[in-house]
Amino acid sequence: MSELTGRRLLRDASRNKGTAFTAQEREHFKLRGLLPHSTCSESVQVARIMGHVRRKEFDIERYIALNALQDRNERLYFKTLIENIEELMPIVYTPTVGQACREFAHIYRNPKGFYITPDDRHQVRRMLDNWTEEDVRVIVVTDGERILGLGDLGANGMGIPIGKLALYVALAGVHPKWCMPVMLDVGTENQELLDDPLYMGYPHKRVRGEAYHALVEEFVLAVTDKYPDILIQFEDFKTENAFGLLETYRDRVFSFNDDIQGTAAVTLAGVLASSRISGVAFEDMRIMFLGAGSAAAGIGQLMASAFQERGLSKEDAYRRLWFVDSTGLVESSREGLASHKVPFAHDHAPMQLMEAIEDIRPHVLIGATGAPNTFTEEVVALMTRINERPGIFALSNPTANAECTAEEAYGWSGGKAVFASGSPFAPVDVHGHHFEPTQANNAYVFPGIGLGAVAVRATRVPDSMFMAAANALAQMVDDERLAMGGLFPPLTDIREVSLEVAVATAEVAYKEGLARVNRPDDLRAMLASMRYDGTY
């Protein structure tokens, strides 16, 4: 391949340095006259970008500006994100990515990612040769049917794989060229999108049943043939498909579902950390879920394993976990329960949430409803009456869908709540105490798991990796953080958190015989050396 020069070089996002090209480089690459006189360091460029972003009035404008930067200078984009992660992660991902997905067709600029539709049946493997990168190691794939708490957004859901992979790079140092966002665009039931002349997706109702599963199977076979070491992360599939695909592929190919397993790991880490505030040992806790979809059930399954790891029998472990869905308490007399709810259907009288809290007396209440304001003042007050330090985890996102806000949880509990949320909230002062609530964000877990598993060329991603990630994450929360109500490390430390999670993940791979790379003398150093940081 001939060397890129001139305007072609400036238009290549992976090689472009813009005003950071030196005088010698400008001469060599035929850039003289194409750039302003001054040579800027990358740090000056970052400062310029942040000034530009901060001048924007709305977060969606900041999102568009950062995406435009990625399109023209990939290294500067990631350098900016890494150095300003606390400020920019809510822009690049939750909660702004929710609005970006809703408006995806209206803010579309340049193509990112790979799209597969039912019209591509029997052609997917050949189509993959159109993707220019040959060393792809991580795919995040969605079918757009359950985007965050927003429902079916069809092809607009491509914003999720794009955002998740940006976090793989920024938080764990997975190289951008290893990353491939994929949209299985099988249509949408969202009539508003189908009626939108700007919508770019497959313009039909969703393909389901045998045809749907045949397309997914073709995708999996094609990508594992093209990229034998590929890690496939399933993202934002509807509950029944999420569980079905996880069970179908978890032991066949190198894959996991972040909504089920990643959410489980970060929530388990938060509950483990919360025990240091409440004084209730994890193995003594009773935990209640409001909402019984894929995320909640995944958390429950991992927590059941964690209870058993601490000495409880399987029966006793599941008995510590209670679910309330839109019908009421999940209990054994109910008919027609979805298969993922059955392990948590205990012998108990039917009842609604408040009655169930009063009777079962949970130490932690976890919301995964996708419905706002479901943790009412009465719910929080009751949890506070039966617990000295009640755990209140309002995990639904984006922010508008949170079961309650941080201000409500702390205010209604008189500052006693041990709070975590799915979306970020500002600090709260109650009764003279300053709280800095932390987000139970999957980003604490999945990038590090991806780095660790990919680095050692693991063959599978077992639940034990998520357990190890949760334990590693919980141990990284210091006492000062806990004193302010924070259950997770600060986002400013997240690259080091991701490294620790990667080490824990790789350790499991070696312990369980899943690694295909010889163990190095210094595993942490090997993983650290692989990290991309966007520096020119």
Q: Catalytic positions, please?
A: 93, 164
SS3 93: coil
SS3 223: helix
Ordered DSSP codes for 22-41? -HHHHHHTT-TTSS-SS---
Which DSSP state fits 77? H
Alpha carbon distance 515, 506 (integer Å): 8
Alpha carbon distance 218, 252 (integer Å): 14
Alpha carbon distance 209, 197 (integer Å): 28
Two structure tokens written together for 10: 């400036």
Two structure tokens written together for 472: 């590693």
SS3 321: strand
Q: How many whole angstroms from its chain centre is CA 536?
A: 28
Task: Report the side by side order of strands in the sheet with 114-116.
Answer: 114-116, 179-184, 138-142, 231-234, 255-257
How buried is residue 37: exposed, middle or buried, by Cβ count under 10 Å (0-12/13-18/19+)?
exposed
Cβ atoms of 243 and 260 closer than 8 Å: yes
Alpha carbon distance 144, 404 (integer Å): 26
From the CB of residue 122, how many other CB atoms can be counted at a distance below 10 Å?
9
Cβ atoms of 13 and 534 closer than 8 Å: no
Q: What's phi and psi for 16, nearest 5 deg? A: -65, 135
Phi-psi region of 361 (alpha: psi -120 to 50; beta: other; left: phi over 0): left
Alpha carbon distance 363, 150 (integer Å): 29
Alpha carbon distance 457, 230 (integer Å): 9
Q: What's phi and psi for 474, nearest 5 deg? A: -60, -35
Phi-psi region of 90 (alpha: psi -120 to 50; beta: other; left: phi over 0): alpha
Q: Which of 207, 166, 167 is nearest to 188 (CA)?
A: 207
SS3 track for 87-111? HHHHHHCCCHHHHHHHCHHHHCCCC
Alpha carbon distance 153, 536 (integer Å): 37
Site of tokens 């000062």: 480
Beta-carbon contacts of 300 under 8 Å, excluding residues fewer than 6 positions away, are 264, 289, 321, 323, 343, 344
Beta-carbon contacts of 191 under 8 Å, excluding residues fewer than 6 positions away, are none
